[in-house]
């Protein structure tokens, strides 16, 4: 968040819903995240990170199958529900409804990539 210049944005009152990838999800990317972390690529990194953030607070009880969520980045994420399994753009929600000071966090098992990135 610091490298992308987003710390101040996400410290604002919100509320926000954040789909936060696990450490394992980032590790699975291997070296593909090195380029966006370079200072010259701040805007690319910001696009990826803001694609994980939705304005407003959306708890698991408010999600619906086929629901489209407009991200801070501008594109949308699709929620799919199959029994107990919930996915967002194919990433499984591993831990829902983690309360944060300015919203809610849902931990997911993949890093989401915006269309065209």
Q: Are 46 and 38 in contact (CB under 8 A)?
A: no
pTM higher than the cut 0.85: no
Tens-digit pLDDT profile for residues 58-112:
999 999 999 999 998 899 999 999 999 999 999 999 999 999 888 899 999 999 9
Smallest CA-to-CA distance from 20 within 91, 116, 114, 72 is with 91
The alpha carbon dihedral of 89, 91, 96, 100 has a sign of negative
Domains of the chain with CATH codes = 7-108 (2.30.180.10)
- Angstrom distance (rounded) from CA 20 to CA 33: 15
């Amino acid at each position: 968040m610091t490298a992308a210049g987003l710390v101040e944005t996400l410290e604002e009152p919100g509320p926000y819903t954040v789909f936060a990838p696990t450490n394992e999800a980032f590790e699975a990317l291997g070296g593909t995240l090195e380029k966006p972390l370079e200072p010259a690529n701040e805007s690319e990194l910001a696009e990826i990170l803001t694609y994980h953030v939705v304005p407003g607070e959306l708890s698991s009880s408010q999600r619906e199958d086929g629901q489209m969520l407009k991200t801070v980045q501008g594109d949308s994420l699709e929620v799919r529900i199959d029994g107990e399994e919930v996915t967002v753009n194919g990433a499984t929600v591993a831990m829902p409804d983690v309360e944060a000071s300015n919203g809610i966090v849902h931990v997911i098992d993949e890093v989401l990539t915006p269309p065209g990135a």
